[in-house]
Structure 1
């Protein structure tokens, strides 16, 4: 029987449900290799029989940079707290379990000096840090009363911030976002039945470039808070406002717009500069929307309009805009992408 060979240059490990090594990087072609975790830099796994033995084998991960788990298990507190070089921690279940209890993660996570990216799904929460975290760049967590000015001040250099609201007896006010002066990407997801209030126009970070709103139940007037942001490039509205009419007067630098709204009936553009830089428009589940604003015909930057689960009249209006461009400019600036059979108009149309 061959003796197992120890190899200390093992740097990446992915473990699946069957407890088999699915992705590795070695510097040798030995038939049998004894894996040493000492120099491991990237580790990602899901629960398995092997996982229960991991803590006793990875207690000395001084070089670990990235850790992703789908379940916080016994012994992981120690593994995380003793790896002072950890930069990214991801804790996210592959499948959401309805009614599953929320687990509080240890606040010792904040003591990691090199931590830059913390991503938690709705099953896990953590209390805010007591110290300022200058290194933090990405933060994804479940919203709570902690989301106030005193907390935002602890993340002066945060660039990506994802907030999820899944349960609340009282309205959640997401104010004081202006403290996140370096924030470029913001995502807010709200579960059905929860109420969230966005900040006033002057309270959004001036560097904000990308915004995703899901289930926020805003009115069209609430969106005016973001229309004039100077660096704004990407907006995703997924059932984000309840109004049947949306009148736009801004978004002069917006390049990408995703609009998913089952109740919206009329969409109007007021102002020559509105959407003047728009390149890509995506409409999803716009069952009640009558048409795309005809003002879109004058957007020379427009490259594509993607339609998914939209009513036939929306498709017709997109084609009409192409005809306007062909007549007025002698060319068509954008292509129409129709996704799914429900988007295809009938022969009678």
Structure 2
């Protein structure tokens, strides 16, 4: 039976969303095996017994499922309803006290905030928690000092407040003990291991009888460690379903010592990977511990480093995503967050897998003989190259002005010296995905020593004004993400191999993108301040007969752009565009898409429109005719007139629609969004955020296949149309900051569905 999850009006974080920054990885219910009794025991400790503050510690070895159990408890509806404030924070081995406190505080108040240097975050957090019943989860604490750094921020009262901690170190768990004894997590039984193994391998299908005996042996040899079960499942799922092959795996497992079990099993998974997948996995190990890796960025980084090349398809992004799916299927990488459409937004490495990656890199002296992936290229191809990972030790060495490459310790062996001496141009540097350890005051001098680097990623801090000079020598760049005061396309016009360009510019500057046409390999462009200037020489580019194109460009994002007669023709030159995101600064004076037939491959469109002048506009809706193959559309700050609504409804493939901060009609008419006679035939997800409408009308034909409805800050209208009870596919209604009448309408729809179908198929989430 689906449960209505309700948070009180002071609840700050919903079930299933433990953090906006570093939330734990999502785990499907069928992967959680053997924790039912443990979860019941822990929930009783969290909700019962003493009213005083209590700390419950869960401890056990890596891979035993501490985080999984804590997550199962944290997301349980009875826990969600019991606490006013819920916070989940991954602490990890390396942490910063201030950063940790800021993250806990932001989750507690449920919004990001700018903390000043003189702000006492610890005191702010303590004052906010006073009088509230809170649950704070500190996942993966390694040292007692981490607890001492934050414990005084948690007020001691009689509200039944709780802190739940996971740690792999028993002494840490005992030190944190208040009233409840530390909870030692047990190993899975053979039967539980076998259940988990079957679910991972067969995905709901029955295990063939000829594999049961071998499967039970594998389950037995996993020694009750869930991580080992999951990793082995990833291996045998790719094998033929033959008992002899499974028995060989079981025999190999039986010879492993439990202390090194995790590393040995990961090594076994690693050995079964193709070479290009090994490089992809080890690269992920360089991200910080517990880091939720943005998948879109990761795939672009893999492409830039040429770990994966297109083989039978021109779509390198698709090839890269297939590599990630391969690692996910082998359980070496875990899903952390999914997008609305089900695609993976963020992924994460288990601590044990990351530790293995770092060990492997150190064993290989941070070097790899990398071969670009191609099924038609032999592994001993002469085109292979020696790659050196930029790790913290190397950065410290390079930071000395007198440091020379021929003195690099890792290159002193005869083979390395030979390779370095004879093939010096093949020595390339794989950039560390996180550049925080670098010299923050001025990292540019290091770049002179890394001329063959392919990725430059400095997104968080402004580079010095001399950055264009330093970048001149980096002619092999394929990925450039920087935060700078000023930007001009001409400063990077020499980067002809560039695939990804992301620029956060803090100073407004009018720039000509004329030089961009030289960058034929550009695939992803994201420049926040894009005020374009065109001269007479540019006009020929925008003639319909012009062949000037960036045919490889897939995504184009700009956070500030005007729509005049020239600029729409700018992205008109990107015929194969798949994703477009624009913040339009002023009232459009011409159509956004001069010819909608051009962008037949456009799948996702995100528009944020500044409404200044809209009240005085006439006929502006005609400028918003969208390319017909859109699957995802998000619009912010506009009027939903009848014509605009019909323009959206004409999109026959549209699956998700997000409307933000707009009005359903003009200032004279009643603010009613009436879609009674409109059909969104393919729409599965609808989100209405901060919409200022007083009424909403719809028929059962309006949203025939809708699955999810999300409403945020629905203070302006009283109810969801009752016809939503007649949508057979509706599975979820999610309300944030809702009125009582809106809640009542959602519950009435749920009740009507139950009465009409006899099934509790609709879940209602009420989140404040």
Q: Same fold (TM over 0.5)?
A: yes
Bigger relative contact order, structure 1 or 2, given CA contacts below 8 A and separation 6+? 2
More helix by share: 2
Question: For 1:1-349, what aligned pairs fall within 5 Å after superposition?
Answer: 4=403, 6=405, 8-13=427-432, 14-15=434-435, 19-20=439-440, 36-46=449-459, 51-52=464-465, 54-71=467-484, 73=486, 77-78=490-491, 80-93=492-505, 101-104=508-511, 106-121=513-528, 123-127=529-533, 130=541, 131-141=548-558, 142-146=561-565, 150-167=569-586, 171=589, 173-178=591-596, 179-195=598-614, 197-199=620-622, 203-243=625-665, 244-248=671-675, 249-270=678-699, 272-340=700-768
Listed one character per residue, the Cα deviations across residues 124-164 of structure 1 (whole Å, up to 9, x for unaligned) are 32357732221121122313314577445422211112222
Contact 1:19 1:50 in 2 (8 A): no
State the SS of the aligned residue for 1:70.
Answer: strand
CA RMSD in angstroms comes to 3.2
CA 1:50–1:298: 2 relative to 1, 3 Å: closer
Contact 2:630 2:651 in 1 (8 A): yes
Q: Name the counterpart of 1:345.
A: none
Contact 1:297 1:325 in 2 (8 A): yes
Deviates more, 1:281-290 or 1:188-197: 188-197
TM-score by length of 2: 0.38
Listed one character per residue, the Cα deviations across residues 4-45 of structure 1 (whole Å, up to 9, x for unaligned) are 463744222454598449xxxxxxxxxxx9984223222121
Contact 1:55 1:76 in 2 (8 A): no
CA distance in 1, matches of 2:500, 2:447: 26
TM-superposed deviation, 1:102: 3.8
CA distance in 2, matches of 1:205, 1:71: 34
Listed one character per residue, the Cα deviations across residues 292-328 of structure 1 (whole Å, up to 9, x for unaligned) are 1111112232222111122111111111111111111
CA 1:50–1:177: 2 relative to 1, 3 Å: closer
CA distance in 2, matches of 1:75, 1:185: 27
State the SS of the aligned residue for 2:751.
Answer: helix
TM-superposed deviation, 1:73: 4.4
State the SS of the aligned residue for 1:327.
Answer: helix
Contact 1:220 1:245 in 2 (8 A): no
CA 1:63–1:300: 2 relative to 1, 3 Å: farther
CA distance in 2, matches of 1:61, 1:12: 13
Deviates more, 1:137-146 or 1:250-259: 137-146
Q: Name the counterpart of 1:347.
A: none
CA distance in 2, matches of 1:235, 1:108: 35
Bigger Cα Rg = 2
CA 1:74–1:285: 2 relative to 1, 3 Å: closer
Contact 1:220 1:241 in 2 (8 A): no
State the SS of the aligned residue for 1:315.
Answer: helix
Q: Alignment length, in residue pairs?
A: 318
Contact 2:517 2:549 in 1 (8 A): no
Unaligned ranges ≥5, structure 1: 22-32, 341-349
Contact 1:17 1:48 in 2 (8 A): no
Contact 2:687 2:710 in 1 (8 A): yes
Contact 2:606 2:634 in 1 (8 A): yes
CA distance in 2, matches of 1:55, 1:147: 28
CA distance in 2, matches of 1:55, 1:212: 35
Contact 1:87 1:115 in 2 (8 A): yes
TM-superposed deviation, 1:115: 0.9
TM-score by length of 1: 0.79
CA distance in 1, matches of 2:630, 2:648: 9
TM-superposed deviation, 1:105: 5.0
TM-superposed deviation, 1:171: 4.5
More strand by share: 1
